[in-house]
Amino acid sequence: MPRSDDFYCRGEFYLGRLLGKNGKPASPNLYICWYDPHSGRVQRRSTRTADLRLATEALDRHYLAVHRPASDEKADYTVHQAMTDYWTLHGSTRVSADAIRARLKLINRFIDHEIAIGVMREPVLPSILNDEWLARFRLWATSIDTIAPQRRAADDRALPPKKRAKSTAEESIIQLKAALRFNARRMTDVPRLKHLTRAEVTPKRTYRLSSDSLAELLHYTCVGDGSAVHATRLIPLRRYLIGAISTMARPDAVMDMSASRARGQWNPAERLFDLNPPGRIQTKKYRAVVPVTELLDDWLSATDDRLVCAEVLRCDDEGDWLDQRPIQSVKKAWQAMQAKLGIPIGWGPKLIRYSVASILRRRGVDKDQLAVALGHQALNSTTERYATLDPEDPRYLESVRALLDELSAELMQKAGTFIRAKSTEVGGNGRRRLL
């Protein structure tokens, strides 16, 4: 199998095709090839793909798994290689792969910017990275390299670019440090970079919604601007608020909530809800099993699949039917409500989580139980020794359950509107009928 310059190569390994006796490819797949001095022959291993990008990644994984870098190779190992190898072997396999890629991409763009303006030169070695480099990166990421808006204003005006948050820049630095440490054996020395903590770069924000304010949000989603059409369009936001208030879950976990038996998140018999869907790997932002309040149970019982969904009424000779359609985001509806009710700019849907947790703290919730419910403390063999922290015990998170039920009843009274789900039943045809 002759070596081809048309494909990718790294070290002693290169990509090639398996040729038949007639000189034509015997397989559409690309092969990882290398010369074996012991046998005096070219060895090969199929990448099981004809896609050059995927085959290149396969060769990189093979190279990194078997290659032992020599001293001169360690001295020439670049920052770009470290980030690429980290992504290939580790980052791309993580649940947070999208976030990891975005953070590394920001570092890459800054290095390219510095090379373009003549501040840095190729090759960029890890030894170049120091406190001065970090200071330049922070300035560029938060002040110079602005973020272009992905949407337009309501009146079709072009929105101005905005500056990147300081915490975002620090997250990229943390990811760079992880990439360098991961490849420590491939480089001469790992530079000691110091990132700033979130507390150091983010001003403390103490704004919280009271129970009266939460009731006002729910009331808004029921009446909107006064028209029935607008109120109907706000049903996904109302469903989101019900889920967020009842579980204190992070926004992405609320959007993942499903009442479908196939998903296995909701256990109506035990009045428990698993915020982590089956098959999803837990991350540091732990998703807990939480108690189901009476209000949430009412909405889950009236839901086919995703809790946060739009409702479309269909009428025919057999009755009124409710079609439920999952949505991707409530961000636009939240921003309209935010402007209408005077919620400070910069606060997104996660404000519900912070606010409900604060209300429960003021009302004397058990701190350990609250930490478990919020996902700040993952259940393990130690914590499960306590009955109130064991999901299989009837007293599981009893303090959290009691106060959430109390808050739900209070909000139903204060909202001044009927915030329970519509009475429905599933017909023989599998569709949901209004009663």
User: Are residues 217 and 200 part of one domain?
Assistant: no
Give the span between the Cα atoms of 46 and 273, in whole angstroms. 45
Give the span between the Cα atoms of 330 and 241, in whole angstroms. 10
- Look at residue 153 and tell me if it is in a domain: no
| pLDDT tens by residue, 321-364 | 889 999 999 999 999 999 999 999 889 999 999 999 999 999 99
Place of tokens 């953070």: 103
- Look at residue 40 and tell me if it is in a domain: yes
| pLDDT tens by residue, 316-330 | 777 788 899 999 999
- Look at residue 274 and tell me if it is in a domain: yes
Decide: 126 and 79 in contact? Cβ < 8 Å.
yes
pLDDT at 2 over 50: no
| Per-residue model confidence (pLDDT) at position 4 | 52
| Per-residue model confidence (pLDDT) at position 115 | 96
Query: Per the structure, how many domains does the chain have?
Result: 3
Task: Say what the pTM is.
Answer: 0.70
User: Are residues 108 and 192 part of one domain?
Assistant: yes
Q: How far is CA 344 from the centre of its chain?
A: 24
| pLDDT tens by residue, 24-59 | 889 999 999 999 999 999 999 999 999 999 999 999
| Per-residue model confidence (pLDDT) at position 381 | 47
Q: What is the CATH number of the domain that holds 239?
A: 1.10.443
User: Are residues 357 and 227 part of one domain?
Assistant: yes
User: Are residues 298 and 382 part of one domain?
Assistant: yes
User: Are residues 246 and 226 part of one domain?
Assistant: yes
pLDDT at 161 over 90: no
Q: What mean pLDDT comes out for the span 254-275?
A: 94
Please list the residues that pair with 162 across neighbouring strands. Answer: 147
Structure confidence at residue 225 as a pLDDT band (50, 70, 90): confident
| pLDDT tens by residue, 374-398 | 999 766 544 444 545 677 788 899 9
User: Are residues 353 and 418 part of one domain?
Assistant: yes
CA atoms within a 13 Å half-sphere pointing along the CA-CB vector of 325 = 8
Query: What is the domain extent for residue 5?
Result: 1-55
User: Are residues 222 and 367 part of one domain?
Assistant: yes
- Of 99-103, 221-225, 387-391, the range with the lowest mean pLDDT is 387-391
Rounded (10°) CA dihedral 221, 226, 229, 234: -10
User: Are residues 236 and 357 part of one domain?
Assistant: yes
Sign of the CA dihedral with 240 first, then 241, 243, and 247 last:
positive
Which residues lie closer than 8 Å to 207 by C-beta, 6 or more apart?
344, 347, 351
- Of 244, 264, 201, the C-alpha closest to 355 is 244
DSSP code per residue over 269-331: TTTEEESS-TTPPP-SSPPPEEEPPHHHHHHHHT-SSBSSEEEEEEEETTEEEEEEEE-S--H
| pLDDT tens by residue, 173-203 | 999 999 999 999 999 999 999 999 988 988 7
User: Are residues 124 and 9 part of one domain?
Assistant: no
User: Are residues 316 and 182 part of one domain?
Assistant: no
Question: Could you tell me the strand order of the sheet in which 25-36 lies?
Answer: 9-10, 13-19, 25-36, 41-46
Q: What mean pLDDT comes out for the span 210-231?
A: 89
pLDDT at 235 over 70: yes
User: Are residues 99 and 49 part of one domain?
Assistant: no
